[in-house]
Structure 1
């Protein structure tokens, strides 16, 4: 059973500009969903809490071998259990490290405000430096992809390659549909029925997310957690042009976040040598919809990255 930490809970944290659970009942609801979701994951090789200037970051290691690890960064209101569909196949590719994002609901606990994108890159840099002395491969889904790009443009020495899955705010803004979902995620009084409909909208309506362990986790994060994160700034064009590591961007053709073909066209212009793809049948829940395909694509991409590095 995973050890879920004591967290920031209750009104005493209001106004401190750090993430917290609004009440004890919400904390217990999220903790229960996290523990249940974690029980569906492969065996954990190591669990570690890493102190940073901005709080304690929870990291897990999965899989065996000594190859360059693949670090997974989840989307908003999610955490490591989001990767339940992906971990079984990804750990067959290479060792995997998952991180719970600081300032989001999860097993990472924020202690100081994050004021800008530089702070958001700084805690991630500190955590990865404590975990690995060498650069790592990074795969992020949704806002986790933005975090990966924000890291590589500010701390390129920490990153061996970057892959992103349908990530907003990297090459463009978001649609009005995504704005509606985002507003719903910060309204604590929203009925669960409406919140679950928003989650189903993100997932393309294929299956009600509340029926899935990760859907239950995200729904509780939306309802029970108050995040105080800075505005998500798009990287500057010159920052994107300066990315020198292998870059893979996969965008979902049925995503509500953005117009995938338009974003892909922009991405190809801004990141020299990037591999940019649109998967027409995928929704924003792409990681859960196509786990085997993502693992196969990541194996190809990472093998190419390792070969290029050794050349």
Structure 2
């Protein structure tokens, strides 16, 4: 049973904290969350890690030894979204999957997030609260932005970065993403929300019969976030990243101009490996799970073989 009470109700809106609309919304979301979690491998540990901005729900998978990999999900998603990747990524190393503070999930925000520095601070505090001295960080979409923001502001304890379709990082957000984002702030019919999710996922079936699609849709419907707009990293900030960095960009992505984003990443990342996958959309982790797992595992092994 959870020991941390969720944020529920309008009082948290006034406090600028992420929250569920009401008790019924939370219980409905929790049912969908638990259904999606049931498709994951059994975690070896479930942790609630305190930070200055709230408590982070983290799940540990995989073997006991090795440099762990920390997974940061996309917007309105949570730890269960990694169902397609966990078995492959946790085969040879520990993996932590978390719910982001301020987003739908079982992490509980207690202090407003007002800047990129705040976003980096809670993530750095989480890393400090985990038992291992260092780890790799992999982020998808806004999780990719979070990983870069961390590397720019609080890189201690981070061994390498893996960025899958990072949003607001190497290319400007497109008008298409603005339309999709309205699904998380405006009431709209379920069918419309499903079409928006399918659009950003390259035409994939976004039926709520799929547990992960249902989880994202429930987060959009039942949770209200109060987060600062992501600030694009400058050329100088990206060029200053000293960590080995793998970037995978989908050629069919609608969140940025893929070729331009890949070019900027190649030009600025001094220790970067940048791959543009022409057939992939923004949902690259679910479209090509085996290829993602193989590519990421090879990159991590190489990063660990290279002296820090």
TM-score, normalising length from structure 1?
A: 0.96
| Residues 52-91 of structure 1: pairs in structure 2 closer than 5 A | 52-91=51-90
State the distance in 2 between where 1:209 and 1:136 align.
35
Match of 2:284 in 1: 286
Match of 1:270 in 2: 268
Check if 1:245 corresponds to 2:243. Answer: yes
Q: Which runs of 5+ in 1 are unaligned?
A: none
Partners of 1:18 and 1:113 within 8 A in 2? yes
What do you get for the CA RMSD once the two structures are aligned? 1.3
State the distance in 1 between where 2:44 and 2:132 align.
19
Match of 2:115 in 1: 116
Partners of 2:8 and 2:26 within 8 A in 1? yes
State the distance in 1 between where 2:222 and 2:27 align.
10
- SS of equivalent residue, structure 2 residue 50: strand
- SS of equivalent residue, structure 1 residue 14: helix
- The structural deviation recorded for 1:184 is 2.1
| Residues 129-148 of structure 1: pairs in structure 2 closer than 5 A | 129-148=128-147
Match of 1:15 in 2: 14
Match of 2:225 in 1: 227
State the distance in 2 between where 1:169 and 1:149 align.
10
Runs ≥4 in structure 1, deviation > 3 angstroms?
2-5
Match of 1:179 in 2: 178
Match of 1:300 in 2: 298
Check if 1:153 corresponds to 2:146. Answer: no
Deviates more, 1:4-13 or 1:105-114: 4-13
- The structural deviation recorded for 1:18 is 0.5
TM-score, normalising length from structure 2?
A: 0.97
Provide, for residues 246-285 of structure 1, a one-character-per-residue CA deviation record: whole Å limited to 9, x for no partner: 0000001111111111100011111113101111111111
Partners of 2:195 and 2:206 within 8 A in 1? yes
Partners of 1:202 and 1:284 within 8 A in 2? yes
Partners of 1:128 and 1:158 within 8 A in 2? yes
Match of 2:252 in 1: 254
- SS of equivalent residue, structure 2 residue 306: helix
- SS of equivalent residue, structure 1 residue 266: helix
- The structural deviation recorded for 1:209 is 4.0
Provide, for residues 170-218 of structure 1, a one-character-per-residue CA deviation record: whole Å limited to 9, x for no partner: 112111111100122211x211111111011111112124231011010
State the distance in 2 between where 1:249 and 1:61 align.
24
Partners of 2:50 and 2:56 within 8 A in 1? yes
Partners of 1:241 and 1:271 within 8 A in 2? yes
